[in-house]
Amino acid sequence: MRGHNFGNLFIAAMTDITGDFEEAVRQSSKVLAVRGRVLPITLDNVRLCAELDDGSVVTGETRISASGSGIKRVYLEPEDSTPLPEALNAIKEADAIVLGPGSLYTSVLSTLSVPKISQAIAEAPAVKIYVCNVMTQPGETSGYTLERHVQAVLEHAGTKSVDVVLHNSQRVPEEIADRYRAEGSEPVEGSVYKIQQMGLDMVAEDLLSWDGYIRHSSERLAKSIIRIILKHRGHVLRKRVLEMYWLPDWLKG
């Protein structure tokens, strides 16, 4: 089991117990007191694959992250896997779609590898926010700038998959950054101008939290996302509130 994270093992165990992956996700949400719904993108038996810069193909999340070669693209086998209807409907009805933070290729982009999922995101009226990682991931995004992270998302999911890029602007304390560099990881840096040249909005704010480890601050990140939603979808939300609470019944229809 070396190299596998607890979440994957827990889901695998629940799938074995329930005999159904969708039910395993549902029961796991109850056990972990998850707020909201967790929906898998597909119930098909799929494998995550990566085509590397040297032309070779690697299969499996752990092997992909440890490949040591640059990743050209990730995809699922079979490539025509069937998306979960509930997931497509949730995307269609969403006010905001947030991609990340998380491992760029093996978490964020693997989710977008079901063609109808990325198509649904592109067609959704929601504001689409990409939250870039604070630090690069050794073996997966070594040397990646902010722009390269964003470009990978656009190449996998299309130019309409992102409206706003949200990135940490706070400098990582040097003593912590040095420790991360020793492990092959470094702060993700980039140019607001280059992101804007891609036709995207850029929001750079202090999102940092550290207690010896570099992470996004959950509270700061949530507040930033809410501000972006209100800016891009505020008129829709205000209209919905008015229709629900203020208008007379004969006008609500």
Q: Read off the CATH number of the domain in which 163 is found.
A: 3.40.50.10680
The type of residue at 249 is D
Mean pLDDT calculated for residue range 55-63? 89
In a domain, 55, yes or no: no
pTM for the predicted model, two decimal places: 0.86
- Number of domains present in the structure of the chain: 2
166 and 90 in a single domain? The answer is yes
- Percent of the chain residues topping a pLDDT of 90: 62
In a domain, 192, yes or no: yes
Q: What is the pLDDT of residue 66?
A: 81
| Residue numbers of the domain that contains 152 | 83-252
127 and 234 in a single domain? The answer is yes
* Tokens, residue 196: 């804007």
244 and 123 in a single domain? The answer is yes
Residue 89, H or E segment? helix 85-93
In a domain, 153, yes or no: yes
127 and 188 in a single domain? The answer is yes
In a domain, 42, yes or no: no
Q: What is the pLDDT of residue 14?
A: 87
Residue 110, H or E segment? helix 110-111
Average pLDDT score, the chain: 89
**CA 86 centroid distance within chain:** 18
The type of residue at 158 is G
Sign of CA dihedral 231, 237, 239, 245: negative
Q: What is the pLDDT of residue 19?
A: 85
- CB-facing half-sphere around the CA of 112: CA atoms within 13 A: 29
Least confident of 16-30, 42-56, 101-115, 136-150: 16-30
